[in-house]
Chains A and B, each alone.
Chain A
Amino acid sequence: MSVEEQKLEQQPVFKASSFQQNKSTKKKNVWKGLKQIITSEKALPWPDEVVHYSSINAPPSFKPPEKFSDLSGLPAPYTDPQTRLRFANKDEYATIVDLPMDITAGYLALRGATSIVG
């Protein structure tokens, strides 16, 4: 009760007090995310010429990705087989060897290379 009362007090005067959106769903505070909106939109029988939010996504890259050192960002011809980190020269390798697990994992996650397959 007190929650409701206080909420009403805070309401600015210019708002219609009766208004409550999202009344269809019983649970409050549940809003469809963008992904959900897109999928439910896609499911509808649209005419052919319609352009959607989801139809203007950028194409995948057609160029092979270049390899850069995870540490410095320099072009990296080498990969450390143990940590899977890329490095540019022997100084960087020396640092890689000393890096704790969480840092190496952090670098891999940053590059999105955490999957075992890739």
Chain B
Amino acid sequence: MNLGKMDVFEFKDAKCNPDIIHPYTQNLKNNSVPIVIDNGSYMSRAGWSTSEAPVLQFKNIIAKPRKERSKKDTIEPIQIPQLQVGNDILNIEAVRFQLKTQFDRNVVTHFEAQEHLFDYTFTHLGIDTENSVNHPLFLTEAFLNPNTSRQLMSELLFECYGIPGVVYGIDSLLSYHYTQAKPLENALIINLGYQTCHVIPVLGNKTVFENTRRLNIGGWNVITFLHRILQLKYPAHAAAVTLSRAEELLHTICVIASDYKEEMKRWTDNEYYEKHIKKIQLPFSSASTSSALTLEQQKERKRELARRLTEINARKREERLAEDQEKLRQLLEIQEIIDFGADKDEVDNILAEYQLRNVNDLQKSILNLNMKIEKIKQKITAANNTEDLEEPPVKQAKLSKMVFENESALHSFLDNIKKMKQDILNKKLMRKQRKQDIFKRRTAAGQERMRIISQLARKEKGNDDFGMRDEDWDIYKTISKDGGDSDSDVENEKLLEFEEILRTHDPQEFDEHANLGELHQLHVGIERYRAPELIFKPYMSGSPEAGLSEVIGYVLSLFGDEDQLKLAANVVVTGGLANLKGLRERLLVDLISIRPFRSEVNVSIMGDSSLTAWYGARQFVRSGEFKKCLLTKNMFEEYGPEYFKTHVASNIYYPTPNESLIDVDV
């Protein structure tokens, strides 16, 4: 069937596109149009309040390469490694270990990183005014953001960027109140974020802060969980299964089961498994396969290398020979001159030129050279002979097919080999079994071992004749870890040999291994359900927290019956994970099971859930509210750095109790 191939899914490995610096029009500049930033722990979305959609969308991360620790005496200027921010990072996996974010869970704590990210945002929005960003700002923050974090944020915005004013708001509340035409005044908002999930009750358009609950688990946890299960399932491909790929899988094939146990039961059925399994092709290079494919070629290459080496050696020898012969010729010439009877000074001069002390030395060198030349000549002839000897392939005989009289002879031969191979494999298996048994109590092997050990340990004075016979010592072999004998090298070699014989004579046997593509496939079945299930069962990763449905039930239980009805009638889901398939059905099933019989339960998912917070914030800015809630620089200086103005979609303001702080009269 061709269908099987069609089902294979491939990673897109989407890369970021670097952001352009957007035009800073006169209109934006002169009217000081407000900037809207949804500063989420996964992504930041930024734009003007007049723009149709966020102008910038990037992951809230920076990659800061480590400074090279240069030596002090180098004169060259120290190269400062380039800091990469947001969409500058084209391949996240390449800089995975240098990534930093300003977030700790869902709260901004690392303001140096935040500063880099604001730099990036404002630069790419095109702002070029000197010494200030002359636009009021709307910024989202965490639910119940600690005062410390907000204070540092305000300091950064007012003192570093000189913005005229800021309004803080909560992302999920903005999505609820400002993106719907007519939001009901009672709702149970479920926000599924990257780091945390919130269950936020809203009664009469007022957020009930004290009954809100936060699950410290989010998309990030699901991604790492999926990443780890797949790595453990495919240890050979551990490096190829990256976090970005796990993220891609989460958003493409993961589903939330409406009944997890039922779903699991279905997966035990083989047919269901085959039908619903997702096969994912990992990239692989077929180049590496060729080496494994033909042993012949490998050998040929080796022989080629050897030949080249001998050639080089031969050439070197010949060069040396020629050199020596030349020197000999020169020395013989000097000898001749001397023999002719030249005067002493001239002889000395010539000798000095050749670094010889006297005539004796000369004769000695001539003798030495003669011997050397003779030796090299011998070597060359020897090398030529061995080359001839080496040429005939020694090992080829072993590999080439043996010739058999007929088919049946071949078959019986192969069967024999197979049987021998199986024998060795069986032996290995037996040994492994024994090895396991020996360490378990209540197995025959284990008890026998204990019996022998206790016998050995028993001290009997007088009649200890242990060690008199050589066989006595064998007892230590039987109680050793390996339980007698271990897998020997000889056996392993035999096994390899048998496999080789089978490969040459019966290649079909090994055909299944030939398809490398299949070896590089991930089969993702139950994992598709298992990973997102983490939100409902945090104990799967060892967290003691209650799951999402349980928390919803808990939050509802904090209200009176009447309010419970109002809340359950309007459950709204937002956040990046809200788009997961099956989420709505699951929540509905779980809610119905905890609600009174036939009471009203509605679950709705906000469309395009990862951007609704930004649209909500923009809507807020466009409404009249924005001017009223703006925290201006004057207020910041007057009321203290942690002060901010509240509104329907904001946190509440609790001044930090501290004697040193001036009491604020609001």
Interface residues of A (CB under 8 A from B): 2-3, 6, 12-17, 19, 21-22, 29, 31-35, 37-38, 40-41, 44-47, 49-53, 55-63, 65-66, 68, 71-75, 82, 97, 103, 106-107, 110-113
Docked CA distance A103–B80 (Å): 40
Interface residues of B (CB under 8 A from A): 77-78, 80, 104-105, 107, 109-112, 115, 119, 122-123, 127-133, 142-149, 152, 155-156, 159-162, 209-210, 212-216, 225, 228-229, 231-233, 235, 261, 264, 267-268, 436, 439, 526-527, 529-530, 537-547, 550-551, 554, 652, 654, 656-658
Judge whether A110 and B656 touch: CB under 8 Å: no
B526 to chain A, nearest CB (A): 5
Docked CA distance A19–B160 (Å): 5
Docked CA distance A59–B291 (Å): 58
Known contacts A2-B77, A14-B127, A58-B546; 17 additional CB pairs below 8 A are A15-B119, A21-B112, A21-B155, A31-B112, A32-B109, A33-B104, A38-B146, A40-B148, A52-B144, A55-B210, A57-B213, A58-B554, A59-B213, A61-B547, A71-B233, A72-B526, A113-B542
Residues on B with C-beta less than 8 A from A71 are: 233
| Contact A65 B144, CB 8 Å, known A59-B213, A112-B542 | no
Partner of B160 from the list A16, A50, A60, A110 (CB cut-off 8 Å) is A16
Docked CA distance A16–B105 (Å): 29
Judge whether B654 and A50 touch: CB under 8 Å: yes
Judge whether A107 and B232 touch: CB under 8 Å: yes
Residues on A with C-beta less than 8 A from B156 are: 21
Judge whether A34 and B109 touch: CB under 8 Å: yes
Docked CA distance A111–B542 (Å): 5
| Contact A110 B541, CB 8 Å, known A13-B130, A19-B160, A58-B216 | yes
Name 24 A/B residue pairs within 8 A (Cβ), A-sorted.
Answer: A6-B80, A12-B127, A13-B128, A14-B127, A14-B128, A14-B131, A15-B160, A19-B159, A21-B155, A41-B148, A44-B658, A51-B144, A51-B652, A52-B146, A53-B145, A56-B214, A57-B545, A59-B550, A61-B547, A61-B550, A62-B550, A68-B540, A73-B264, A106-B232
Docked CA distance A75–B448 (Å): 36
| Contact A61 B80, CB 8 Å, known A44-B657, A56-B144, A74-B268 | no
Q: Which residue of B lies closest to A46 (CB)?
A: B657
Docked CA distance A40–B148 (Å): 10
A39 to chain B, nearest CB (A): 11
Residues on B with C-beta less than 8 A from A2 are: 77-78
Judge whether A34 and B232 touch: CB under 8 Å: no
Closest 3 CB pairs of A and B: A112-B542, A34-B104, A73-B530
Residues on A with C-beta less than 8 A from B155 are: 21
